[in-house]
Amino acid sequence: MDFALTDEQSAIFDLAQAFGRSHIAPHARKWEADGTIPKELWSQLAELGFGGLYVSEENGGAGLSRLDATLVFEALSQSCASVSAFLSIHNMCASMIETYGKAALKNAMLPDVISMKSIMSYCLTEPGCGSDAAALTTKAAPFEGGFELTGTKAFISGGGYSDAYIVMARTGTDGPKGISAFVVNDGTRGLSFGALEDKMGWRAQPTRAVQMDGCKVPAENMLGQINAGFSYAMTGLDGGRLNIAACSIGGAQAALDQTLAYMADRKAFGKTIDQFQGLQFQLADMEIQLQSARTFLRQAAWKLDQNRPDATKFCAMAKKLCTETGSKVADQCLQLHGGYGYLADYGIEKTVRDLRVHQILEGTNEIMQMITARQMIKDANSCRK
């Protein structure tokens, strides 16, 4: 068993980290204040191959593994978790188009998606159903040549900003087996957006409700088979949970690195505060927590890459562990900065705000506990038979 990254994986991490430090970190506070991310950034990331991280090379993507991809998101999150997380959403959509899209749709969309000329968002959550996603009410009524979508999606990162949306809508009976997935392009008649949400964190990402009032999409814009969309969504979320876990680790690691530098400079009672044993214990605990969470995350990513039967459970566990660890570490880093940690100039308070939502999205951490426990019970029952 080898826990070391390969030379190629280390190069991937270093490339993303260097890009973030040069092109993202210096602007992160301004983008947060502006409430948007300049679209020119995405084309720069795409030049590095980050617009289609796990789209196959055959289809123009980077062909990376899920483990490789977590390295990208961890590294970029050291500069801004909000930007990194938005890139994760785009990549999930790109992967779904490659995996489930018909040939004509893939040929038409993938080149621009991979080059990030076309930015994508993912629309599952609705105002009345978050954790109970299978209860969604957005309808897709068939008509000659396609489907007509009507409904509202909530909390959509990139709402009114992105160029296309993957929308989950009901085409059949109630429950998960009556849901299909569709690509809805920006500018489609009947597509509109709510007001910009005023959020605690992820403020650089424009977030709005996505509203559809009789949006007509051609049949070829349906991904995969009719009524199979919910399974596609859940499969996509396994990787999304790994990515958001990586974003938490990256953001917290940057906060810890910054805290070490601050403590080596800040003096109290005649010496730098990194010389106080009680504070050293806190530093050690944060390092242990981050290293443990990172190791577990990479194990979960390896399981997903290997299609292991327990991959979904491990992705859920990794998401809960890493997002909670990341938030805990970032909050402790703020505490160690004292009053300065509360000031925007130091950047720690932004990290605390950005990481908090990671425990909610891609399935709340309570849902991660449900996934884990149900699989444990299922496995135990199987052993008794």
Tell me the catalytic residues.
362
- Per-residue DSSP letters for 118-175? S-EEEE--BTTBSS-GGG---EEEEETTEEEEEEEEEEEETTTTSSEEEEEEE-SSSS
Asked whether the CA dihedral 99, 133, 356, 317 is positive or negative, the reply is negative
Strand partners, 150: 139, 213
Q: Is 270 left (phi over 0), alpha (psi -120 to 50) or beta?
A: left
Q: Is the dihedral of CA 149, 208, 355, 254 positive or negative?
A: positive
Helices 229-265 and 277-305: crossing angle in degrees, nearest 10, is 160
> Which one, of 263, 257, 247, lies nearest residue 325 by Cα?
247
Which residues are within 8 A (CB) of 277 and not within 5 positions of it... i.e. 6 or more apart?
none
| Distance between start and end Cα atoms, the chain | 32
From the DSSP assignment, how many helices (H) and strands (E) are in the chain? 11, 10
d(CA 94, CA 71): 18
